[in-house]
Chain A
């Protein structure tokens, strides 16, 4: 509000004029509140519903209970057949997101450094191609990716999907990491080289520690995007022992016989724990990084 003027120089307003001046603000706040409240409520319901037996009118929770969380200690029956344990799914999700993070950060930092600091033939074209791939809709290539995975014997393998997902995100990651390296002063590296260190040693012991915060951010984002991944895992992984949390939840949702929102809310919350933790601790930097993180829509 400071912007609307300096109270000393302002003439006295009549009530109507004051209202007219306030009106745009009232509208702005009103529209924001009206559209934002439902979003908050949706997530609040998710929490409330998971800890209650039922909702009156669908929106007011009654009867606190932990019944909805029973999937943590017993397997869920679905049309006679048992869903795999939630812990199998959790372990697989960790495996998937963890491997993805390690691969993406390793390959991304190596490529990012080469793009930022090294001279090699075709450097300009490589930079251009990397940039163009950002906008490229990788999901339209799934049929061919299926053929390739099948050919490599990696269909229905979590590791196969890790490779695919790494490949789809690596142009963006490498480019972001290149940006970090661009900001490292040349002198720092120069000093190391003069002291007689090899290029690789300088990279590893001087330059890499310098961009550690950036690497941390990239790691968190790739972990979360792996954790949230659904489409690739749903398409390329079919067996029960390789189920991940996303597919687990999707199977529960798509069963028409047991639409139990209590259970669904509890599983969703369990699934969202890493996301929520991250969200609570890093809201501010999230607002600055999120564009680099989310490629889809």
Chain B
């Protein structure tokens, strides 16, 4: 009897546990071990202690990459959070017609649901250095010569492209937080003759305090470790001008086949990620975290 009680959950959870073990836990272990090896495309295990980390400190471009990472994460996070907040505020508080607010929010979902390759194509087209690029077409209307935007300022381009996608994440979470405020409070404020600013400050800000922290930490984590859009847009170039730490690890492994060194860089990201996850956990607890992720 006791045995059959265990059997069913084991069967139901089996495939789930297997996948998680195989592609989450095993990789974390592997990264932690690989970081201390000199593995290259020959895939041989040769341990050489802390060599990778020594190499990292001495790496001539690591300074540039750390700076890029800080700039990228910092500014993109600002766009994500603040532009997301403005979108939410405008479409829920100032625009009272539900259908119109929904329309704007739907348009802002487009970048998020577009496949990354298509979304990046739009930006490549926008910044194209030839006269066919959209930005350069506008310049030619005023008789100005085309400008190589992506080469001249890869970082701003990367930040804007990523920022606008992330903004929709903030927008959804903030707008559902604002919509969950009881309507009576707004009516009461209106009867009291409160200004828009005091409504925002005293009613809306307190309601989005937790979502705000959630979005900030969550986005910080995903910006730090994801590089898909940068890979497609500039591939870290020109001359490492937009290379961030996560992309550097990817390039080291899959372009230069330095799996050991790449793992060492990844390991640092994984450690930061684990700390951030635990922070999310501490701050939001189990219920809060899910409350924020499962909207309405």
Task: Give chain A's interface residues, CB within 8 Å of chain B.
Answer: 1-5, 24-25, 28-29, 31-32, 36, 39-40, 42-43, 45-46, 55, 57-59, 106-108, 110-111, 113-115, 118-121, 126-129, 131-148, 150, 163-164, 166-168, 170-171, 174-176, 179, 199-200, 224, 227-228, 230-231, 235, 246, 249-250, 253, 259, 261, 264, 268, 271-272, 275, 278-279, 283-284, 286-292, 294-297
Contact = CB atoms under 8 A, between A and B. Distances in A.
Contact of B112 (A150, A200, A290): A290
B102 interface: yes
A275 B118 CA distance: 11
Nearest to B261: A143
Contact of A135 (B104, B165, B280): B280
Contacts of B133: 58
Contact of A118 (B12, B186, B274, B295): B12
Contacts of A279: 109-110, 113
A118 B249 contact: no
Contact of A167 (B22, B29, B132, B136): B22
Interface stretch (B46-54, B55-63, B149-157, B224-232): B224-232
Nearest to A141: B27
Contact of A275 (B31, B114, B273): B114
Contacts of A296: 222, 226, 228
A5 B190 contact: yes
B12 A58 contact: no
- For the complex of A and B, the 9 pairs showing the least CB-CB separation, nearest first, are A58-B137, A137-B225, A144-B27, A167-B23, A28-B94, A111-B16, A144-B30, A228-B115, A114-B12
Contact of A58 (B132, B281, B289): B132
22 contacts: A28-B89, A58-B140, A59-B137, A107-B15, A110-B12, A110-B16, A120-B10, A135-B276, A136-B274, A140-B31, A141-B266, A144-B34, A144-B263, A163-B22, A179-B294, A235-B254, A250-B232, A261-B132, A268-B118, A278-B113, A279-B110, A292-B294
For A3, A113, A128, which residue has the most chain B Cβ atoms within 10 angstroms? A3
A227 to B, nearest CB: 7
Contacts of B240: none
Nearest to B196: A24
Contacts of B90: 28-29, 31-32
A106 B13 CA distance: 11
A291 B295 contact: yes
B118 A287 contact: no
Contacts of B109: 279, 286-287, 290
Contacts of A127: 286
B107 A39 contact: yes
A136 B31 CA distance: 14
Contacts of A25: 94
Contact of B221 (A59, A135, A144): A135
Interface in B74-88: 86-87
A230 B253 CA distance: 18
Given A268-B118, A279-B113, A174 B253 contact: no
A253 B117 contact: yes
Nearest to B280: A135
Tell me whether chain A's interface is mostly helix, strand or loop, or mixed: helix
Interface residues of B, number: 114
Nearest to B31: A144
Interface string B1-37: 0000110111111011001101110111111001000
Contacts of B94: 24-25, 28-29
A58 B131 contact: yes
A286 B106 contact: yes
A178 B29 CA distance: 28
Given A200-B8, A259-B130, 7 more contacts: A55-B132, A143-B31, A144-B27, A150-B43, A163-B19, A249-B117, A272-B115
B223 interface: yes
B44 to A, nearest CB: 12
Contacts of A288: 295-296
B293 interface: yes
A57 B141 contact: yes
A244 to B, nearest CB: 10
Contact of A291 (B106, B273, B280, B293): B293
Interface string B104-131: 1111111111111110111011101011
Contacts of A5: 190
A58 B140 CA distance: 9
B232 A111 contact: no
A246 B117 contact: yes
Contacts of A114: 8-9, 12-13
Contacts of B286: 127-128, 131
B269 interface: yes
B96 interface: yes
